[in-house]
Amino acid sequence: MIYLVCICAYLLLLAGIGIRQSRRVKSEEDFTVAGRSLSPWVMVCTMLAVWIGTGSIVGNAEQTYKTGMAALILPIGTFFGMILLSLIASRARNIEATSVPGIIQSRFGNTARGLAMFSLIIAYMVIVSYQFNAGGAVLEVIAGDKPPVTVSSGDQLTRRQLLKGRLVFAPEKDWAGSTSLTLATGSDPSAPTLHWPVHVVVSDDLKAAKQDAEKAGRGTAVKRSGSARLYLNADLLSGSQYTVASVPDHGTLTLVEPILTARTATLIAAVCIVVYTMLAGLMSLASMDILNGSAIMLTMVIALPVYWFKAGGWSGMEAAFAAMGDRTHHMQFWGVYSNADMINYILPVFLLVLGDANQYQRIFASRNAKGAKTAVTAMIFVAFAVELLIIACAWIVASMTPDPENGKYILIYAAKHYLILPMGCLFMVTVVAIIFSTANSFLHVSASTAITDVYLAYINPKAGQKRLLFLSRLMVVVFGLIAFFVTLMFAETTGFFRKALYAFTIYGSSITPTLVAAIVWKRATRAGAVASILTGTVVSLVWSEADFIHRLLPPAASGLDAVLPALLASVTCLVVVSLLTKEKVSPKDAAATPAV
């Protein structure tokens, strides 16, 4: 309860800041780019708070739990992306735009702007959706579980209990072998049944047993003298009510249900985030991010040594991972990720950093071009350091957390169970603040883009400031509802890391090449930009969603995600079509972009 009280107190503080700042919002420019008033220090805090979001503190941490020390390579994309962004920051600030589609429109016209806006909103709705999920995850962890109930033959269970709750099997000490759970549809034990194998093995055989269960599409591998959740396949559960025909032998089967379901917790988080974003746009976000950005850095620096000593240092971690059986590679830096994995995990992040509308919106909000360049240069090192700290913390606490169920939100779980109460509260509050800041920013950019690039461009160019403010806040609600429905579209087994890569790929391959060309390449043409955005979007979606494509590819390419083929297609179209459709460059564009 104390965690919930601390979080609510912090959110009330942020709401107070938002209400106070909302009184200062007098125009659409105040709402969109904070009146172009941000200093370099405020810019660093707000850029950090929006970048170190769920993708980092939940997604990267989740990936670290699965792969260990090798995940320390993941921030490379952020590091090099920030370096290139710093080289064009002052040039971007001098454009005096208020949105990324606005930059694209100024060079490539309305068609390119419309396509860019479409791709941006698709990607950002996915990003906002998993911010809602992450906020719900925090509430789930804080609320905790109902008391566990032992499951016996003849018990009645609903489909909801089987999928939303956790069936956990703990075998008898030192027993190994095969057993099973059998469920009958409805209340008749003789009705059609679901047979779920359970294999209890020694540590050395656990990894192979898990792989066999995955290939079979059913079954659970459990380490001897340990415990594991039975992840029943939703496709196999066609009924609404089930009877337990038999439970696994040589052990105990328990049902653990959360006090707050994931959907309810996500809905609560979504409402809070949308309401705050409506209050005052970027002006309130910038004020809130001064606190959040500072808290991120402070919390990670304090938590790392605490976790390190609690885990027993290097030798303690090494022994713990070895005892788990399926995580012997967690102490390796090289050899865990394949070349395809490195491309799949690093390139989407690099592309998002270089073209992220949130970062550009903060660059537009800078007092001047010099301040923008200073802030982005500082972010090269600050963002890289904080991401490394997040991954290092997740790697260390993974050695103390054998249950994969707790690994989904490993840093949230660790804050509650491994830190003393004051530090745990600070960490939990920081995580919530990060989630709120990131979700607010992506919602805000989506709403501002819709108003600037649709309403003002096509519907009512002479709209007054009060009307624009009202419509901006209304669009925050609309996009918040869309993002919540997006949370229902992903399979529950899709992790935060994969969701982040999916969104980053769509955005990075469709918008980033054209955006960078608009700033630095004067030979790019309207036709080239349109072809690039369209190709990047289509290839990203088709490659990700059409499984038959991977079956047609040679083995070397079948492991690639959409990012590399989509980027190559997008850049090729941009360059080739631009060179084939040369346009006359206006004096204004010639002055704004260098000859390349």
Give the CATH number of the domain where residue 43 resides.
Answer: 1.20.1730.10
Q: What pLDDT is attached to residue 37?
A: 57
Are 225 and 80 in the same domain? no
pLDDT, mean of residues 246-275: 87
Mean of all residue pLDDT scores within the chain: 82
User: Are 140 and 234 in a shared domain?
Assistant: no
What average pLDDT does this structure show over 159-172?
86
Tell which wins on pLDDT, 239 or 230: 230
Order of all β-strands in the sheet with 166-171: 149-150, 251-256, 166-171, 228-229
Q: Out of 168-177, 400-409, 563-572, which region has the weakest mean confidence (pLDDT)? A: 400-409
Q: What is the pLDDT of residue 594?
A: 42
Residues 82 and 119 in one domain: yes
C-alpha dihedral sign at 94, 98, 104, 110: negative
Number of domains in the chain: 2
Has residue 31 got a pLDDT over 70? no
Q: Yes or no: say if 501 and 348 are a contact pair by the CB < 8 Å rule.
A: yes
Name the pLDDT band for 427 (thresholds 50, 70, 90).
confident
Predicted local confidence at residue 151, as pLDDT: 92
Domain housing 330: 2-144+262-592
Please indicate whether residue 150 or residue 99 has the higher confidence score (pLDDT).
Answer: 150
Among 567, 449, 446, 563, residue whose Cα is nearest residue 500:
563
Instruction: Calculate what percentage of the chain has a pLDDT beyond 70.
Output: 87
pLDDT tens digits for range 51-76:
887 788 888 999 999 999 999 999 99
pLDDT of res. 30: 47
Please give the pLDDT value at position 32: 47
In this structure, the answer to whether residues 162 and 139 fall within a common structural domain is: no
Bridge-based pairing of strands 220-223 and 193-201 is parallel
Give me the pLDDT at residue 96, please. Answer: 64
pTM of the model: 0.80
Which DSSP symbol is given to 585?
A: P
Q: pLDDT higher for 173 or 38?
A: 173
Cα–Cα distance measured from residue 330 to residue 309, given in angstroms and rounded to the nearest whole number: 18
Mean pLDDT for 415-427 is 86
Is the pLDDT reported for residue 461 higher than 70?
A: yes
Task: Say if residues 570 and 497 touch (Cβ distance below 8 Å).
Answer: no
- Do 132 and 158 lie in a common domain? no
List of residues 6+ apart from 572 with CB closer than 8 A: none
Least confidently predicted of 200-209, 386-395, 477-486, 552-561: 552-561
Mean pLDDT of 438-462: 80
Q: Please report the pLDDT score of residue 289 as a whole number.
A: 65
Same domain membership, residue 239 and residue 128: no
Mean pLDDT, residues 192-203: 85
pLDDT of 80: 94
Say whether both 162 and 90 belong to one domain.
no
Choosing from 256, 283, 307, the residue where a domain stops is 256
Alpha helices in 34-153 (DSSP H): 40-51, 54, 61-67, 76-93, 100-143
Q: Are residues 111 and 235 in the same domain?
A: no
Task: For residue range 341-382, list pLDDT tens digits in order.
Answer: 899 999 999 998 888 877 887 777 777 778 788 888 888 898
Among residues 291, 283, 262, which one has the least CA distance to residue 27? Answer: 283
- Sorting pLDDT into bands at 50, 70 and 90, what band is 585? low
